[in-house]
């Protein structure tokens, strides 16, 4: 127990709940600030003891000691930052703004301590004589690299400026996130007349009514916004004016000149990142970031994006011509607009393949998707089983807690599912951990998946769109990476891998959504229990590539926009966000007005408040590995324990404890090939 913290504070000692699950039923807002204060002080004292140790540096008294330090700080930070994303409030937001620069300064104090760096450097220089095992040797290399990348070798004056930059960047990133959440809530579209919602399913209308009721808008309907530019309801809304309102609300986020405007915030972030990269010896932020990823250089990452862009745009333009014809049948003389694409795309898909979201949603009930789809596939591949634990506390009534068991019945960890949208949750979908697996610390994983599914009225089923089912499988792929981690050092646990590798296992997990055995197990009508008709299954398989022109182009536009912001130099003075964005898209050859970027700059949370700055290319980079791995599974019999065990042993269990591409080569038996990706994306002419 920490002596500086009241014993009544639930963070004062490790949780006694199974797997170290935080005692959410005891944690209140007032517990965080003193726990952070005590955690920072305790960690600083532990690091000081390591740095000031009069004994010569050894792997144990320096590197392992660092791995063991900061447990109190880790406990409070893991809970706090999970909740500021999934269930925040003004108290937590104020504290986040206060604590973010303190944490940045704390990290700098560690990495810029010349005594500590001296010990790490000495060990690194004689690493060949230390007799370390492979994982320990890799840890030493990573710690040394982290110190160098943090500026440990810079002159004192440059280090002081670096501290200032990191503190301001942490504050700005927090502000970007909070502005976006407020503006997203503020821009939700209010509809007065149910007739304007024609085309939506009955449960979608009910969810809109429920959302309005939750804000006191009795008798009205509220269309809340998802994080990307294109909103799911655009595919169903028949009223073109309502579609336009919804789209314009989406692209207005963070750029309305109000208190939530992110324009100055993001230009300042980009400028400070450019200055920091220059201090650290790189031409721009992208070069700094990607030098430590599997891509190696910004040129390699940008090169892949630019290679794919022309064919993707050509496909999108071809599809747009077809959609234009459909639009003119309804509105003669009208021009296809961004808010029309999803609606007429669904109409084409229905006409061509006789399948659309309205037909599919009754077969995609949330609990069945999770238990009989996501969990079922994990059982077939890895032997995992899941038991819901109603006796364990969660941080919100919506959250479900499952205990996960290995194939031999041994307890493995906990999985938390937080599936519904709410005003206190940021947009998008993500996985995170409350406890990281580590042999050194004797800890097993506690993992959470967050989605943003509209809540139906009480007692009614939660029916998912096709894309929401994909997301459920995708995010659980991240969860598996954490749950199946089998590493010694917490630094390497689960998804602690290069950013352009982390999406790979989660993308692979998407393949099981339409795998016949899995689909047959979960895709059953929520009222009758009848399985998804075979003709629809066949149509789904045939339609898998439809719409790739749009989805690839909107993604590439966002990824190239990310690179544009992060290849500016410290001398560039960018103030006109819209102008910069337009010029960047035009230069990259992806300026297609009817296909806007998946995220525009002012609500591009991945790169301005998440961990994907200069790294949004990671999704397509990882997809090269993913598509190649899907081919491997198909070639070797698909959904089998033998295949799952091989993937688990050589990839998922490794976390970051080895070179990621070496792990891929061990799994696949060769380097990745791009052809499967090109086939999947309809880009075989590239």
Q: How far is CA 377 from the centre of its chain?
A: 21
- The owner of tokens 């891998």 is 497
Residue 597 Cα distances to 231, 251, 600, 624, angstroms: 13, 10, 6, 21
**631 CB-contact burial (10 Å; exposed 0-12 / middle 13-18 / buried 19+):** middle
Calpha distance 133→135 (Å, rounded): 6
What DSSP letter does each residue of 370-411 carry, written as one string? IIIIIHHHHHHHH--EEEE-TTS--SSTT-EEEEEE-TTS-E
Residue 454 contacts residue 211 (beta carbons within 8 Å): yes
Closest CA to 323 of 534, 539, 595, 75: 595
Of the listed 468, 475, 510, 554, which one is catalytic?
475
Residues 6+ away with beta carbon under 8 Å from 132: 59, 140
Active site residue 141: no
Q: How many CB atoms lie within 10 A of CB 587?
A: 11
DSSP state of 69: S
**420 CB-contact burial (10 Å; exposed 0-12 / middle 13-18 / buried 19+):** buried
Residue 47 contacts residue 69 (beta carbons within 8 Å): yes
Residue 606 contacts residue 541 (beta carbons within 8 Å): no
Residue 369 contacts residue 522 (beta carbons within 8 Å): yes
Largest CA distance in the chain: 83
Calpha distance 371→462 (Å, rounded): 14
Give the three-state DSSP class for 346.
helix
Q: How many helices (H) and strands (E) does the chain have?
A: 27, 7
Backbone phi and psi for residue 393, each to the nearest 5 degrees, phi listed first: -75, 150
Q: Which two tokens stand for residue 164?
A: 């200032």
- The owner of tokens 């010896």 is 281
Residues 6+ away with beta carbon under 8 Å from 110: 47, 116
Closest CA to 453 of 361, 366, 360: 366
Closest CA to 58 of 126, 134, 107: 126
Closest CA to 302 of 279, 283, 275, 276: 283
Calpha distance 110→157 (Å, rounded): 17
Give the three-state DSSP class for 447.
strand
Q: Which two tokens stand for residue 681?
A: 């994306």
Question: What is the 3 state secondary structure string of 41-90?
Answer: HHHHHHHHHHHCCCCCCCHHHHHHHHHHCCHHHHHHHHHHHHHHHHCCCH
User: Residues 88, 92, 94, 96: what is their CA dihedral angle, to the nearest 10 degrees?
Assistant: -100
Pairing of strands 446-453, 411-420: parallel
Calpha distance 682→662 (Å, rounded): 29
Q: Which two tokens stand for residue 302?
A: 């940008």
Backbone phi and psi for residue 285, each to the nearest 5 degrees, phi listed first: -65, -40
Calpha distance 492→502 (Å, rounded): 12
Closest CA to 447 of 407, 519, 495: 495
Q: How many CB atoms lie within 10 A of CB 354?
A: 14
- Residues carrying an active site annotation: 475
């Amino acid at each position: 127990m920490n002596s500086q913290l009241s014993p009544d504070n639930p963070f004062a000692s490790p949780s006694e709940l199974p797997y170290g699950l935080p005692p959410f039923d005891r944690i209140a807002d007032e517990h965080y600030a003193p726990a952070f204060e005590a955690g920072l002080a305790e960690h600083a004292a532990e690091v000081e003891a390591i740095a000031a140790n009069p004994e010569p540096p050894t792997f144990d008294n320096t590197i392992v000691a660092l791995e063991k330090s900061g447990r109190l700080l880790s406990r409070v930070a893991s809970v706090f930052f999970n909740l500021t994303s999934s269930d925040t409030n003004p108290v937590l937001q104020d504290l986040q703004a206060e604590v973010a620069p303190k944490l940045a300064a704390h990290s700098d104090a560690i990495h810029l301590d010349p005594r500590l760096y001296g010990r790490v450097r000495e060990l690194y220089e004689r690493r060949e004589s230390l007799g370390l095992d492979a994982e320990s040797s890799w840890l030493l290399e990573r710690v040394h690299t982290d110190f160098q990348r943090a500026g440990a070798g810079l002159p004192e004056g440059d280090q002081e400026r670096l501290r200032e930059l990191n503190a301001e960047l942490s504050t700005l990133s927090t502000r970007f996130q909070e502005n976006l959440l407020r503006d997203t809530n503020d821009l939700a579209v209010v509809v007065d007349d149910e007739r304007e919602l024609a085309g939506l399913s009955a449960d979608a209308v009910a969810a809109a009514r429920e959302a309005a009721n939750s804000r006191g808008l009795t008798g009205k309907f509220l269309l809340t916004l998802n994080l990307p530019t294109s909103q799911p309801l655009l595919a169903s809304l028949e009223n073109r004016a309502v579609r336009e309102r919804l789209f314009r609300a989406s692209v207005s986020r963070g750029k309305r000149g109000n208190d939530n405007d992110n324009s100055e915030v993001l230009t300042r972030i980009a400028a400070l990142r450019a200055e920091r990269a220059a201090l650290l010896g790189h031409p721009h932020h992208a070069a700094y970031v990607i030098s430590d990823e599997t891509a190696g250089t910004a040129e390699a990452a940008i090169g892949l994006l630019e290679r794919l862009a022309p064919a993707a745009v050509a496909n999108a333009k071809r599809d747009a011509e077809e959609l234009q014809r459909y639009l003119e049948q309804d509105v003669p003389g009208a021009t296809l607009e961004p808010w029309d694409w999803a609606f007429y795309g669904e109409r084409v898909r229905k006409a061509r393949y006789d399948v659309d979201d309205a037909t599919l949603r009754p077969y995609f009930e949330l609990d069945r998707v999770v238990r009989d789809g996501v969990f079922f596939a994990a059982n077939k591949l890895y032997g995992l089983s899941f038991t819901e634990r109603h006796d364990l506390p969660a941080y919100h009534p919506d959250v479900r807690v499952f205990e996960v068991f290995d194939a031999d019945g041994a307890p493995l960890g906990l999985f938390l599912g937080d599936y519904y949208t709410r005003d206190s949750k940021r947009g998008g979908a993500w996985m995170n951990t409350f406890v990281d697996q580590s042999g050194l610390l004797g800890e097993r994983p506690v993992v959470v998946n967050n989605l943003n599914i509209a809540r139906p009225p009480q007692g009614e089923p939660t029916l998912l769109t096709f894309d929401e089912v994909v997301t459920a499988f995708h995010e659980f792929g991240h969860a598996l990476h954490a749950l199946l981690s089998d590493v010694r050092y917490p630094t390497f646990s689960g998804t602690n891998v290069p950013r352009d590798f982390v999406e790979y296992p989660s993308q692979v997990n998407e393949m099981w959504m339409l795998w016949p055995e899995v689909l047959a197990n979960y895709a059953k009508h929520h009222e009758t229990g009848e399985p998804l008709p075979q003709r629809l299954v066949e149509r789904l398989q045939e339609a898998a590539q439809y719409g790739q022109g749009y989805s690839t182009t909107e993604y590439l536009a966002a990824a190239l926009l990310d690179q544009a912001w992060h290849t500016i130099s410290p001398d560039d003075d960018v103030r006109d966000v819209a102008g910069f964005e337009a010029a960047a898209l035009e230069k990259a050859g992806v300026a297609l007005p009817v296909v806007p970027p998946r995220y525009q700059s002012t609500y591009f949370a991945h790169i301005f408040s998440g961990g994907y700055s200069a790294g949004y290319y990671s999704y397509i980079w990882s997809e090269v590995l993913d598509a190649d791995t899907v081919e491997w599974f198909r070639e070797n019999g698909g959904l089998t324990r033998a295949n799952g065990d091989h993937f688990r042993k050589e990839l998922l269990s490794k976390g970051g404890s080895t070179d990621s591409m070496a792990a891929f080569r061990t799994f696949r038996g060769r380097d990745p090939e791009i052809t499967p990706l090109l086939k999947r994306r309809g880009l075989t002419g590239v």
